[in-house]
Chain A
Amino acid sequence: MVEEKVRSALEKAREKVLEEKDYVMEVVRYLHEEFDGYAPPEALELAAHLLEVPPSRLYEIATFYSLYTLKKEAKHVISVCASLPCHVAGGREIIETLRKELGIDFGQVTPDGMFKLEEVGCLGRCDTSPNMMIDGTLYRNLTPEKVVAILEAYRKGVIE
């Protein structure tokens, strides 16, 4: 299973590489695609082995960038914009609502493993502030009521 996914990630990266080293970045990215949002240590080590580079090269990348992670911590990752344009447009209330509804703070996961809450910098959508993203899907012009409804939709599985 793991090996299949790693090989597939290497394959896809190989199609795009120009230089030996920019390979590594692409490999980590495709591993996240293969494993649906994370790159487990065993996959990184296997990939490093196949690429004949020290595992630290891959770990370095998988741990530096905030979109990369070594373990799947929650089913859905909520990234709420915490930058000024969203803040002045009512973002503070959105963050408040998320904290209250989920009962967790930034960087934490709900006890049922359903949601992880993260704050992110400007999503480049300040024309529709306040904004948040859940697993890459954008939700805009948020109000506390909308947030509650959106969370409910995820909880009920209406949105996967």
Chain B
Amino acid sequence: MKEIRVCAGGACIASGAFSVRDALLKELKEKGLDGQYKIVETGCMGMCSRGPFMVVDGVVYAKLNERAVKEIVDSHLVGGKVVEKYLMALPEGQKVKEAFKEHPFFSRQVKIVTRNLGKIDPKSIDDYIDRGGYKALEKVLKEMKPQDVIEEIKNSGLRGRGGAGFPTGLKWEFAAKQKSDRKFVVCNADEGDPGAFMDRAVLEGDPHSVLEGMAIAAYAIGAQQGYIYVRAEYPLAIERLTVAIDQARRRGFLGKNILGTDFSFDIQIRIGAGAFVCGEETALMASIMGERGQPRVRPPYPVEKGLWGYPTVINNVETLANIAWIINNGWREFRKYGTEKSPGTKVFALAGKINNTGLVEVPLGITLRELIYDIGGGIPGGKKLKAVQTGGPSGGVIPADKIDTPIDYESLTALGTIMGSGGIIVLDEDDCMVDVAKFFLEFTVHESCGKCTPCREGTRAMYEILDRISKGEGTMEDIDALEELAVVVKETSLCGLGQTAPNPVLTTLRYFREEYEIHVKEKRCPAKKCRDLISYVIDPKACTGCTACKIVCPTGAIEGELNKLHYIHQDLCIKCGSCMDVCRFDAVFKVSPPIKEDEKVQSS
């Protein structure tokens, strides 16, 4: 029986993957083909902006709906003719059949963590086993001593993918050395960095790879119990994990005497409750132990004193999804990818002003240019790249002229940002750096747990300064004060949240100080984003007097009769931008600095 793979990742489901599947079932039945084809619902195929996807005989069809399915069944399955219309197009516009091999978005990727995504049905343990799943666990239990496992992982050079990049083998070794009759393994699936969603994709698309990684970790350190801490906002991931754990138990990959050995290990799910700080490992443990999710001072580290005082290894989802692959293929194979200090691959989430949003797994050491242009397809609308934000609220921005830097832990740190969990937010000329910094500070102020003063008060004070600058009320002294505060908060906060929160401010100041100064000195926002520093005006040459803007304006700020030039009263305008959105003649534009009522501007 041949397989037809339909992407059932979160984004594709939301854009109609299930009606595509149902239509396919129906069509296959009607054509009497249901005996020949089997439909496999897979995890995320990666290019979420073009879903729903379907793969038949290696041919990738995108942007499907029910009608498309009918055409494809009629033409491709019955008639043997590929339906050009629904194929993916290369950046140059040419359509390709086998997009996974031919389209640079897919062909440049190296799939280790995402090896099964888009290939297997995440609800089926048999699919996972068919592709070599749980072989690594078997090998480890039957052929390797715990110390061998640790050596293998140490040699691979795998570093934690949850943000800090700590060597995973070393972490396991510390935990293994602790003398204790109880130990824990925790999977950190609290993914909260804005812009990151790779952990969700792995949990939804290949949950068993994480379970297998956890079981191997548990064997290596001598743990009996595991927890997966998932955020409540990921209901589909929770559902798939629940199913997977249940299947693994029934097949003897979890529970007592795994695969007939005397190794026993079981896993439970714990669900977060909406606190970003719970992604920090000590806060996460507090939350599992039924306390407020507040971090504590380290040392002692979790590997010494973790859950209920017992040695605990905490690893990120993506870190764990690497483990079985390394055991199966060996550390030398792993080291073929990436750089000396950052071996292997990393899954990046491309978001923001980029043509191909979605998840990509690439070798570490790739440059941002390759990632954004070759794989990501560049910036939409012919706009200019301005900067790239990595590492979420703990990271910083990298200016466009530095995009030839290789992406690895050290290079990013040298630029003042961090790898973080792999969110890549692309910013173009319309984005304001003061606004970006303000944005992240607002996030930190909101998420600071309140325990230590530098983070609680310092981030608030920084936010207030940024707010003033964005309103044109800042002074040059404010900029200096902002910089000083940022350094203090960075150096004196208790946990990683506060220690990294100033990074967006520090990097925007480092690379875009001029933009701050223009906000202060000229009361102008060059990107025309900061609301208090812009005005909306109508271009007399372009306005046709269609009245569309006048109709949508919520405050009645626009005056004008049909077929006559319209005019925006600045004293009534609340700068919501509705007029600009609705104008079909590009006659509404923004100016900065703002103008006063009755003031005239030159059309741009």
Partner of B195, one of A23, A68, A85, A128: A85
Minimal beta-carbon separation of B467 from chain A (angstroms): 15
B577 interface residue per 8 A CB criterion: yes
15 additional A-B residue pairs with CB within 8 Å, beyond A64-B293, A127-B197: A21-B289, A22-B288, A22-B289, A25-B290, A61-B291, A67-B272, A82-B443, A85-B423, A93-B577, A122-B194, A124-B192, A126-B351, A126-B423, A127-B358, A140-B11
- For the complex, count residues of A whose C-beta is within 8 A of B: 45
How big is chain B's contact interface, by range?
A: 35 or more
Are A128 and B192 in contact (CB-based, < 8 A)? no
**Chain A residue at minimum C-beta to C-beta distance from B184:** A18
Are B274 and A128 in contact (CB-based, < 8 A)? no
B234 interface residue per 8 A CB criterion: yes
The main secondary structure of chain B at its interface with chain A is: mixed
Which residues of chain A have C-beta atoms less than 8 A from B268's C-beta? 16, 18
Which residues of chain A have C-beta atoms less than 8 A from B10's C-beta? 125
**Chain B residue at minimum C-beta to C-beta distance from A66:** B274
Please list 26 pairs of residues, one from A and one from B, whose beta carbons are closer than 8 Å in the complex, sorted by A's number: A16-B268, A18-B225, A21-B290, A23-B290, A25-B287, A64-B275, A64-B293, A65-B275, A68-B274, A82-B443, A83-B443, A84-B194, A84-B436, A84-B439, A85-B425, A93-B577, A120-B274, A122-B195, A122-B392, A124-B192, A124-B197, A125-B10, A126-B351, A127-B11, A127-B49, A128-B48
Are B436 and A22 in contact (CB-based, < 8 A)? no
Which residues of chain B have C-beta atoms less than 8 A from A83's C-beta? 194-195, 439, 443
Binding site for B on A (CB under 8 A): 16, 18-19, 21-26, 28-29, 57, 60-61, 64-68, 82-85, 87-89, 93, 96, 100, 119-129, 133, 136, 138, 140, 144
Are A29 and B271 in contact (CB-based, < 8 A)? yes
In the complex, per-residue mask of B559-599: 1 if CB is within 8 Å of any chain A CB, else 0: 00000000000000000111001000000000000000000
Are B389 and A84 in contact (CB-based, < 8 A)? yes
Measured in the bound complex, the distance between the Cα atoms of B291 and A25 in whole Å is: 7
**Chain A residue at minimum C-beta to C-beta distance from B426:** A88
Are A125 and B308 in contact (CB-based, < 8 A)? no
Which residues of chain A have C-beta atoms less than 8 A from B38's C-beta? none
Minimal beta-carbon separation of B495 from chain A (angstroms): 16
B270 interface residue per 8 A CB criterion: yes
Minimal beta-carbon separation of A148 from chain B (angstroms): 12
Are B288 and A25 in contact (CB-based, < 8 A)? yes
Measured in the bound complex, the distance between the Cα atoms of B549 and A3 in whole Å is: 57
Partner of A127, one of B48, B272, B440, B442: B48
Measured in the bound complex, the distance between the Cα atoms of B425 and A15 in whole Å is: 42
B59 interface residue per 8 A CB criterion: no
The 3 A-B residue pairs whose C-beta atoms are closest, nearest first, are A83-B194, A65-B273, A67-B274
